[in-house]
Amino acid sequence: MLIKLSAVDEAVAPVFRYHAEIVNRAGNHLKGFSVQIKIVFSDFKKNYLEASEKVIAEEVKRTTNGIAGAKTITDLETAVKQITGKDVNLSGTDLELMKKNMDQVAKLCGEYGIHFDSIETTAGRKYLGEVSRSGRYGDVVSLLYPKKYYKTKEALIEELKKTASSGNMPRIGGRNIDVYSTTHEFAHTLSSSVTSRLYGTKAETDFWDEIEEVYRDYKENGNGILGKYASSNQDEFLAEAFADAKLGARPSKWSEEVLVIVDKYFKKKGE
């Protein structure tokens, strides 16, 4: 968004902090913005703030409908790119399966913002999904989908059944099972305990302190209710608890506690 200001009265200036929050919720939906040099607050609110909210709502609805109405993978890639403003490559995947998963991505981005730089498909991965971090500070984040599992819904469900039967994941109902991995990996895009400890802000390290406290209690008293993977480290505990809280029919108390912490630090204001 481009904001052009010139000699704006100091009485009007504070409202730009509020408008910045609107812009943040909009993501890349608004492409340009300018303000008259002389304007009273009531006119500013009507002409800019309220008008912007309306444009945002209409644009989000239009692009979300773009996911549901996609006829090809290329259509879907375009729709998701419009929503996120990020590079999207979904080649080699099943259209209907990815429409459901990209709809979940869009919903979670609407709640928590966009914390990744690209969505890509990969070949030869052993995991159901993955988040890669690169760059000097681990700040370039990619959400990855293995083609071997997302080429058909049947291939994904078969692998999920194996994962569930081995006790490596929380109990997710059949209605939501095919977006489990997307929801799990989205939690990883929010933050990494390693990179946040090294390069993060105080708020981010505080976030992990709170997650670690719940994780320790889970390790002592959870009896593995979230599956073996959740007990491997606090990053996987975060992702599994988040997925359970969002998708599980009866989320564990630890999952609900994790969601409260995630919402506290990452949920958009007003959501």
Give tens-digit pLDDT for 152-180.
999 998 988 888 877 777 777 778 889 99
CA–CA separation, 17 vs 111, rounded Å?
A: 20
Relative to beta strand 33-34, strand 3-4 is parallel
Q: What is the mean pLDDT of residues 201-206?
A: 91
From 12-26, 201-215, 223-237, 243-257, the region with the lowest mean pLDDT: 12-26
Do 182 and 242 touch, CB atoms closer than 8 A?
no
DSSP 152: -
- From 34-48, 110-124, 152-166, the region with the lowest mean pLDDT: 34-48
Report the distance separating Cα 12 and Cα 132, nearest Å: 43
- Whole-model pTM: value is 0.76
Residue 73, number of CB atoms within 10 A of its CB = 19
* 127-152 mean pLDDT: 92
Strands 118-122 and 140-146: parallel
221-250 pLDDT, tens digit each: 999 999 888 999 999 999 999 999 999 889
Beta bridge partners of 190: none
Select from 61, 111, 63 the least CA-distant residue to 88.
63
Mean pLDDT estimate for the chain: 82
Q: Residue 7: its pLDDT value, please?
A: 40
For tokens 């002592």, what's the residue? Answer: 220
Give the mean model confidence (pLDDT) for residues 122-135: 86
- Tens digits of residue pLDDT in 83-108: 999 999 999 999 999 999 999 999 99
- Contacts by residues 262-267 (CB-CB < 8 Å, ≥ 24 positions apart): 262/112, 262/187, 262/190, 262/238, 265/203, 265/204, 265/206, 265/207, 266/112, 266/113, 266/115, 266/190, 266/191, 267/111, 267/112
Q: What does the H/E/C string look like for 177-245?
A: HHHHHHHHHHHHHHCCHHHHHHHCCHHHHHHHHHHHHHHHHHHHHCCCCCCHHHHCCHHHHHHHHHHHH
Chain position carrying tokens 């007003």:
270
Q: Where are the alpha helices (DSSP H) in 131-179?
A: 147-150, 153-165
Give the model's confidence band at 50: pLDDT under 50 very low, under 70 low, under 90 confident, else very high: low
